[in-house]
Structure 1
Amino acid sequence: MSSKQIGSLWVVATPIGHRDDISARAIETLRKVTLIAAEDTRHSRPMLLQHNIGTPLVALHEHNEREAVASIVRRLEQGESIALISDAGTPLISDPGFRLVRAAREAGIRCIPVPGACAAITALSVAGLPSDRFVFEGFLPPKSAARRSRLEELAGDPRTLIFYESSHRVVESLADMRDVFGAQREAVLARELTKMFETVIGEPLSQLALRVANDPDQQRGECVILVAGRGEEADAKLAEGQRVFAILREELPPSKAAKLAAAITGAPRKQLYQE
């Protein structure tokens, strides 16, 4: 390696919708670096041009990240400063970039965050759900069986749960959440955040699932789903379910007893069966 100073990798957050939601520092950084690695150059270019940013772009997405990382790290080692951006929000949050940041750090390259918008945190800030403890789960599996299995693993989590979901699966995901978490579990759909048709709807899962299923407008755009964690009420429901299950188990097979106990008390069927 030459004696030339090693460059820096700037990880820059961009707007999640409204193009003015970008910091002055982010604009300055994107102007001064020698290259911007963007998830989709066609998507990012209009936003960059609006802020008079003419820095050259290179694509870095999930399909080419493995191959592109070596080239970008080599340029960083040769002294170039490069910015990483995603299509929207903070890079690496359900977006590509992990491999690049990891490789850069392993090469001794400084990685500098330029913070800004993140859909998960933006949604949490207006959801009215407990925010002292939460977990970001990203996208759920696309198939219902796998999705329900993952939701069942999370059913007992006391933290607020945050999910991203595509518009064409939001109806099915809300229905699965209703069935697994219970009809009365509090939830919020935050859709098209910071955009013209932004909506934030908070209702019990039974009502929210029905409302979205019956309203095509709520099935469009970028969706964040937030679900309250299991609280004391759920613990009481589980305890009652266990009591009913124990009684039914004396006369019925475990699977049948768990199904009936869940229907009677609203306790999670799978958890009753496992316990």
Structure 2
Amino acid sequence: MIRPCVPAKLSRPRLFNITNRNVVFALLDEKQTNYPVIWISGSPGSGKTALVSSYTLERNLPVLWYLLDSGDNDIAAFFGYLAQASGEAAEDAHPALQTLIPEDLQDLANFSRRFFRSLFARLPANTVVVLDNYHTIDPASVFHEVIQQAVQELPHGIHLQVISRAAPPPRFARLVASNLLGQIDETDLYLTAEEICLIAHKSGLALDEVTLQLLQNQSEGWVTGLMLMLEQIKQSGASNPSASIDNHLVSGYFSSEVFDPAPQAMREFMIRTALLP
């Protein structure tokens, strides 16, 4: 029987020409040994999603991947998609997970505990449940309480990894204080000089020390910045690669990822404060 296609929202991202980051993989191994939840935060383009996707592939870990968006503030929709995702990840045939009905909202914590208890029982050992783009959830959403109930039901051998542009919200402070949540932040994601050299080589570029140093200084360890500058060098074919590096692509990336999606009031604020008197 041909299985229906899994929507991108519930699929581990496909990787192309990714360099495994063994140093950060080792950090993930350490965090996963000591914490049931790992919160991975960093700016757009810092390589968060690629890191988790390549890590789970390299370690051959089963994955239940969920790409969050603003629609998941509707908690009923979230439970519905999660039930669909669990059907793809489950080892054997299981009864369908319970559907959230309006009456369940009167005791959402109890419904959440029962739902996640059943969900985790369906998953193979060592499964990593990934919640990607957590920053898209409204700070006031009941979603955060639901995830805290999920953490309380995590059995040994099932792990939760959260990917976000922001640090854990204040309401997760109890999880941090209880040593249930470990963190990997942007400084952990910065590329080292050795990684920059390896990525450039894998991209088919033989760069001199001056250009490599320039790439390191200008990218400051930021993954997407490095990749955009390497692409500029490849496209220019210049005899002096460093001369072909400028910031137009980087500016365009930040515009599309940060500025354009922001509310109008925030865009005006960023414009007014970009160049202070």
**TM-score normalised by the shorter chain: which range applies?**
under 0.3
Greater RCO (CA < 8 Å, at least 6 residues apart): 2
Relative to its length, the structure with more helix (as a share) is 2
TM-score, normalising length: structure 1: 0.26
Relative to its length, the structure with more strand (as a share) is 1
